[in-house]
A and B are shown apart, each in its own frame.
Chain A
């Protein structure tokens, strides 16, 4: 797979030339591959939010470059809006950005800014709302009459409706109840599968990331400390713990079993992995 976004030596300093000067992101190099489901994890204040706001040009690097395709997104600052249509960013708690009278109008805000015609907007709104897991009967309702979870889905639909090549979600399941979390993640997963577009999910929940993504980038102290498949990352459990992160619960169980002398892979990160490993140990056939 070839990279769709490349980050080169990105540094961002807040409050430059003031006593409060602080680098939120320092010399970061990373790639986002076309069509992958990438997870970015890091503890609070590790620079996750600052990093992703660079990917669609909301923040301008203090130094370094962001390449979308092969072009530096800041090559033509006047055309930065186009970058934002190609890289859709859903903020944390996006339900607080809703403003229109109806769900339909709110979801249509992005496509309208793109200058599309009515018909295309209509198609996109309907398809986006479906991807976000909302019924068409909600379209004419006021977004302020919906529940918290539904509001968030409307906000996510508002970004999906721009049909971006890369969809970035900052903690999409934060503050939802367990059932809400599960169905939110399911919707995101099926969006990724059906659309085939690149999805980046920022989270600090290891379990969520482990079960969904193809590849993980770990941020700590304003820089990338690890990147690789979930298996590669979770086999370095001690390093994760050192930077204030955790490993998925399943991995914790596997590690404890290994410590007690059971001969399995300590980096099992899904329930299915661990089950298969244990079944294999008993001489049974691993089944999927």
Chain B
């Protein structure tokens, strides 16, 4: 039951999108988002959409998986659509009671929904094709210059990868504790909201205790292997940009330029 939760939903694969340097993918996602916000109308959105579709095709990720990722934010999408539909001033098409639907409203709502959807899909493409470890590795390298102004980049990246590493372990642990308490007649599925909240105590207390215990053990194990933070630490897998990274960068810059020009002419 709990195993159905997916976080850092990485789909292993061997496509070009998987093979790209994680730094490339992070930067390109940023460029993609900029493009999305620069896009003004059908033509420019079409170009960005084309880019997204190409990305999905190249990555081999099932489009169904991308659509499924939209489910949690469906409410926000609908909310934005409705808000924009009714509250954009302009040429009134239909009006009833206090509601007015304007031509501009329809356009804004449509583009807003398109923008959010494509934003989510684009970033999902990043997490679907990049393993959490590669992602933190890429982020750490990209944020490296911030070390100059005393931002603990390495430590933050380490915290992130340990957190990601612990998610499946804690899920398994939760499952085990739940079964053990169920065996003693604990009931998590019925009763009022208050009762259900109370029923969580027998799960949360042991879970917290074991999380702290694991953290302690891990800290000792890391110290035993002489971990002392990022200072002077080298990497087993050093990231290198390949020809394919430069090529994809070129494509993106071209598209970005195109979108900017199109947007300038209001297309």
Residue numbers of A with Cβ under 8 A of B are 53, 56, 58, 81, 84-85, 88-91, 94, 96-99, 109-110, 113-114, 144, 158-159, 162
- The answer to the question of B209 belonging to the interface, with a C-beta cut-off of 8 Å to chain A, is yes
What does DSSP make chain B's interface, helix, strand, loop or mixed?
A: helix
Residue numbers of B with Cβ under 8 A of A are 176-177, 179-187, 201-203, 205-206, 209-210
Given the interface pairs A91-B176, A96-B206, the reply to whether A158 lies near B182 with Cβ below 8 Å is no
What is the CA–CA distance of A91 and B179 in the complex, to the nearest angstrom?
Answer: 9
What is the CA–CA distance of A159 and B206 in the complex, to the nearest angstrom?
Answer: 17
Contact partner of B182 (CB less than 8 A), chosen from A58, A90, A159, A162, is A58
Contact partner of B183 (CB less than 8 A), chosen from A84, A96, A114, is A84
Chain A residues contacting B202 (CB-CB under 8 Å) are 97, 99, 109
A162 near B184 with CB under 8 A, answer yes
A113 near B186 with CB under 8 A, answer yes
Interface centre among B181, B184, B206, B210 (most CB of A within 10 A): B184
Interface centre among A89, A97, A113, A159 (most CB of B within 10 A): A97
Nearest CB to that of A14 among chain B residues? B3
What is the CA–CA distance of A84 and B180 in the complex, to the nearest angstrom?
Answer: 11
* Shortest 7 CB-CB contacts between residues of A and residues of B: A113-B185, A99-B205, A97-B180, A110-B184, A89-B183, A91-B180, A99-B202
- Given A91-B183, A99-B206, A109-B202, list of 11 further CB < 8 A pairs? A81-B187, A88-B183, A96-B176, A96-B177, A96-B209, A97-B180, A97-B202, A97-B206, A98-B206, A109-B181, A110-B184
Task: Tell me the number of A-to-B contacts counted with CB atoms below 8 Å.
Answer: 55
B185 near A162 with CB under 8 A, answer yes
What is the CA–CA distance of A183 and B206 in the complex, to the nearest angstrom?
Answer: 26
- 29 A-B contacts (beta carbon < 8 Å): A53-B179, A58-B179, A58-B182, A58-B183, A81-B185, A84-B182, A84-B184, A84-B185, A88-B183, A90-B183, A91-B176, A94-B180, A96-B176, A96-B210, A97-B177, A97-B180, A97-B206, A98-B206, A99-B201, A99-B206, A109-B181, A109-B184, A110-B184, A113-B184, A113-B185, A114-B185, A144-B209, A162-B184, A162-B185
Q: Give chain B nearest CB distance to A169 CB in angstroms.
A: 12
Chain A residues contacting B177 (CB-CB under 8 Å) are 96-97
Chain B residues contacting A97 (CB-CB under 8 Å) are 177, 180-181, 202, 206
Chain B residues contacting A53 (CB-CB under 8 Å) are 179
Interface centre among B179, B185, B205 (most CB of A within 10 A): B185
What is the CA–CA distance of A89 and B179 in the complex, to the nearest angstrom?
Answer: 10
Interface centre among B176, B179, B180, B206 (most CB of A within 10 A): B180
What is the CA–CA distance of A84 and B182 in the complex, to the nearest angstrom?
Answer: 8
What is the CA–CA distance of A99 and B209 in the complex, to the nearest angstrom?
Answer: 9
Contact partner of A158 (CB less than 8 A), chosen from B176, B179, B184, B209, is B184
B176 near A159 with CB under 8 A, answer no
What is the CA–CA distance of A58 and B180 in the complex, to the nearest angstrom?
Answer: 9
Nearest CB to that of A85 among chain B residues? B185
Nearest CB to that of A113 among chain B residues? B185
Chain A residues contacting B180 (CB-CB under 8 Å) are 91, 94, 96-97
Chain A residues contacting B183 (CB-CB under 8 Å) are 56, 58, 84, 88-91, 159
What is the CA–CA distance of A35 and B205 in the complex, to the nearest angstrom?
Answer: 36
Q: Give chain B nearest CB distance to A12 CB in angstroms.
A: 14
What is the CA–CA distance of A105 and B159 in the complex, to the nearest angstrom?
Answer: 37
What is the CA–CA distance of A100 and B205 in the complex, to the nearest angstrom?
Answer: 8
Chain B residues contacting A81 (CB-CB under 8 Å) are 185, 187
Chain A residues contacting B206 (CB-CB under 8 Å) are 96-99
Nearest CB to that of A159 among chain B residues? B184
Q: Give chain B nearest CB distance to A82 CB in angstroms.
A: 9
What is the CA–CA distance of A235 and B34 in the complex, to the nearest angstrom?
Answer: 75
Chain B residues contacting A88 (CB-CB under 8 Å) are 183
Given the interface pairs A98-B206, A99-B202, A144-B209, the reply to whether A113 lies near B176 with Cβ below 8 Å is no
Interface centre among B179, B187, B206, B210 (most CB of A within 10 A): B179
